[in-house]
Amino acid sequence: MKHAQVREAAAALFNDQRSPFGAFSLGSETHHAATIPDAVRRCRWIAVDINASAFGLYFVSPSPERARLVACFDSDYPGTAVATKFISGANGEDMVRHSRLSTAPRWWVDDALAGSRQVFQSLAWAESTAPLAPGTNGIAFPVHADRGQCGLVVFLGSEIALSDDTLCEIHARSFALFAAVARIRPGDTGRMRSISKRELECLKLTANGNTSEEIAKLLKLSVHTANQYLTQSTQKLNAVNRNQAVAKALRLGLIE
């Protein structure tokens, strides 16, 4: 199935007044995710439907040379799961390239875990890949939204239940969830302190995996100044750390 077909399926879910976020039907709220906690709840319902034990939603950072996956949230929200640290690191680099070029889901299995392999191998429109996190079985759905944003919705579990008949719907629901998250805007936008160009440059370089030392060198700053810019942007975005600030900046389209 091609990218356009998946987006059409996502639109059909809305048109049929069915919830793209869970197994139950909701009212008009299905058209918008109002908050990140709400999006987490809706993603958890998708996980329940396919018997996944964990999940995560990631944005692809903007750099074509050093792009990586930036976690918006995972099943340990408001904390961060151990698996996310691997997915956001070097393990996710191949999936970044794949997500930009294809919408084909990718799955992986750990030989030490029972189940999943036979289920995944029966999926006609899905490819195997190297594990995104050690000691896990999982499937990743590439997703896209407005303004050229792309990302990944990942589900982990040793007994994930999927078939060709349900794969399209789960992917469409993942597309719709990502699009809803990408539309979230802070409720107090008018009162949010403006972020300077230099602060955004530091955030963008952080999104691409650069350390404070590397950012300082690239921008000809001291490490202290680079860290100061990152701290200021984190505070202005009301984030708890720089990784959450990067995810917010990507979602809000502040860095592209």
pLDDT of 160: 92
pLDDT of residue 33: 54
- Strands, DSSP E only, in 100-168? 106-108, 127-128, 138-144, 150-156
Residue (of 198, 201, 189, 197) closest to 237 by Cα position: 189
Q: Which residues 6+ apart lie within 8 Å of 172 measured at CB?
A: 6, 9, 10, 12, 13, 20
The model's pLDDT over 55-110, given as tens digits with 9 standing for 90+, comes to 999 998 776 666 788 888 999 988 889 999 889 887 778 888 888 888 899 999 98
What does the pLDDT look like over 154-207, one tens digit per residue? 999 988 999 988 999 999 999 999 998 888 766 544 445 688 888 888 888 888
Kindly provide the residue ranges of all beta strands, DSSP E only, lying in the chain, ordered along the sequence: 54-60, 69-74, 106-108, 127-128, 138-144, 150-156
pLDDT at 190: 43
Decide if 143 contacts 178 (C-beta within 8 A): yes
pTM for the full predicted model: 0.74
Cis omega (within 30 of 0) for bond into 78: yes
Pairwise pLDDT comparison (117 vs 11), residue with the higher score? 117
Q: Is 103 exposed, middle or buried (0-12, 13-18, 19+ CB in 10 A)?
A: buried
Q: How many residues does the structure list for the chain?
A: 256
Q: Is the dihedral of CA 162, 164, 170, 171 positive or negative?
A: positive
- What confidence score (pLDDT) does residue 8 get? 59
- Which percentage of the chain shows pLDDT scores above 70? 80
How far is C-alpha 205 from the geometric centre of its chain's CA atoms?
18
